[in-house]
Chains A and B, each alone.
Chain A
Amino acid sequence: DAKTTQPNSMESNEEEPVHLPCNHSTISGTDYIHWYRQLPSQGPEYVIHGLTSNVNNRMASLAIAEDRKSSTLILHRATLRDAAVYYCILRDRDDKIIFGKGTRLHILP
């Protein structure tokens, strides 16, 4: 079973920032926090990952709570192309990904 909890769906207006929350209260010291997203009719794609410190890349930012029991994926300026299901995933030393139900993000024009 997935070890993360995410809202089923969220809405955001186009060109505004989006904050996608994820709770992972049972995270272990060796778990990395990964985010993937799946656009309609496509395979998942990697977004970002981190361990303890906040991370930034060209797609998004990842803010990790100090106790690591929660994190937030931040899309700085959402576009219609960001409408997707976003998965927050904990990965330990195993290589397989355990997907949860994710958050379905709707972008309003």
Chain B
Amino acid sequence: NAGVMQNPRHLVRRRGQEARLRCSPVKGHSHVYWYRQLPEEGLKFMVYLQKENIIDESGMPKERFSAEFPKEGPSILRIQQVVRGDSAAYFCASSPIVAGSTDTQYFGPGTRLTVL
């Protein structure tokens, strides 16, 4: 009965490299959300995806960031040409197929990205 899994847990990149963060939702969940938490700050919504569709990307930076949730496999958050300001904890959450105000989101342990 695995919960949300994220890997890697820690990722170190040099400026200009690419970062790929993976998220496997709870089995049977078809909704995935990504959040970012900068040091000593609260969590900020980035993007909401269903299988093969981006539903809401209002929190995603316009450049360098992209997300996907393919029909098979984990959701991927991709950051191209990372900069020091991208250093943060990135959390993924999933929820079951029934969308709406009462659904619970289950969060993963996060990926801590450090950009040197």
Q: How many residues of A contact B (CB 8 A)?
A: 23
Query: A44-64, CB under 8 A of B: which get 1 and which 0?
Result: 111001000000000000000
**Contacts A43-B107, A43-B108 hold; do A93 and B101 have CB atoms under 8 A apart?**
yes
Q: How many residues of B contact A (CB 8 A)?
A: 28
Within 8 Å by CB of B105, from A97, A100, A101, lies A97
Looking across the interface, which residue of chain A has its beta carbon closest to that of B92? A43
Binds A, one of B13-21, B43-51, B69-77, B79-87: B43-51
Tell whether B53 is near chain A: CB-to-CB under 8 Å.
no
Within 8 Å by CB of A94, from B44, B56, B102, lies B56
Within 8 Å by CB of B45, from A32, A45, A93, A98, lies A98
Q: A95 touching B31 by the CB < 8 A rule?
A: yes
**Contacts A31-B101, A43-B109, A46-B106 hold; do A96 and B91 have CB atoms under 8 A apart?**
no
Q: A42 touching B42 by the CB < 8 A rule?
A: no
Within 8 Å by CB of B44, from A31, A45, A99, A102, lies A99
